[in-house]
Amino acid sequence: MQKTTWIRMGITLGAAGVLAWRLPPVRLIAEFRQLDVMQLLPAASCVLAMLAVRAYKWHALLSHGEPGARAEDSLRSLLGGFALALAIPGRLGEFGRCLFTPPGQRHRALLLNALDRLLDMWALLTVGVASLFVVVRFPAAIFGVGVWLAAMPLLVGLPALLATFVNLPPWPEGLRARLAAATSQIVAMRVRRFAVLSVASTALDLMLFYFLLRAFYPVGFDAALATFPWIVIAGGLPLSINGFGVREGVAALLLARYGLSPAAAADVGLLLFTFSCLLPAVAGGIWLLASGSSAHGQWPSELETIGKGIWNSLRPAATRPANAL
């Protein structure tokens, strides 16, 4: 994991260097000075609405079969996951939400977190399919819709897919047993409601991106729809830390077609990360610092245990130590 982290740090520094060479900071600042501040007001509203939808969905997931779950704890764990995602490589921090739930519910929360992330990925791909009607010819877009419809059974079967993943041999015996017990509570869960909420939060992210574009250049909604999913996917690839450099480079490449200068496109990418990731992470960090590292203690060691379990379940068997967690 350390080697991978150093590689990603090197890619991040390299991407930052290329970005600074092709787009000097003075040009980025010059574009920022021309920003239409009034467009940031609806953008901020989209962020608040997106967080409200995600918080509602996360609380609904935690409350499924556990009616005693508190909304405050659900929001705290959601924002805590945002904060840890910035600090821990490989977006492992996203799974830190479970560490801000009662100890007896952490393994169940970990699985629900994985389900939540898979639903968000499906929602992003859904927007990507919709963007095909803008970026490619009609027959190809219809083919994309056909593939999306064919994959619907996979969406419905996500809880069962998680159960299969948990039962793979690489997981440590004790951890696998606890995860399997938690899986039995969610394997029959109906995900349609949560999938709709994922699409709603992704649509709000899309609207956020649209208003950020409008802050720099008077483009139509088709520009946002055509580029947003691919910029987000590029930023989510495990190539650099938090997608820095990769996200901005792809934004500059794709948005040039719609009249944005490379500097303005890079600024849009930076603002998208700031609004959708950095600000929620800062809010989560402040909340954690104000109330203590964890409401239930022992989260650093548990995060390490869970992280090793996930890491070793994905490693090739030949490279996995016999006693690895």
C-beta separation of 84 from 306 below 8 A: no
| SS percent in the chain: helix, strand, coil, step 5 | 80, 0, 20
Q: Which tens digit of pLDDT belongs to each residue from 15-27?
A: 555 555 456 677 7
Classify residue 298: in a domain, yes or no.
Answer: yes
Does residue 144 register a pLDDT over 50? yes
pLDDT given for residue 3 in this prediction: 55
Does residue 14 sit within a domain?
no
Q: Are 122 and 155 in contact (CB under 8 A)?
A: yes
Ramachandran quadrant class, 64 (left: phi over 0; alpha: psi -120 to 50; beta: rest): beta
Domain extent, residue 113, equals 32-315
- Domain assignment present for 84: yes
Joined together, the tokens standing for residue 185 give: 């509570």
Number of domains composing the chain: 1
Cα(196)–Cα(200) distance, integer angstroms: 6
pLDDT digits (tens, 9 = 90+) for 12-58: 555 555 555 456 677 777 788 888 999 999 999 999 999 999 999 99
Is position 5 within any domain? no
pLDDT at position 39 is 92
Any domain includes 22: no
Task: Measure the CA–CA gap between 91 and 84, rounded to whole angstroms.
Answer: 8
Report residue 10 as tokens: 């090197």
Residue 25 lies in a domain: no
Q: Crossing angle, helix 192-216 and helix 106-135, to 10 degrees?
A: 50
Residue bearing tokens 């402040």: 286
Read off the pLDDT of each residue in 255-272 and give the average, rounded to a whole number: 90
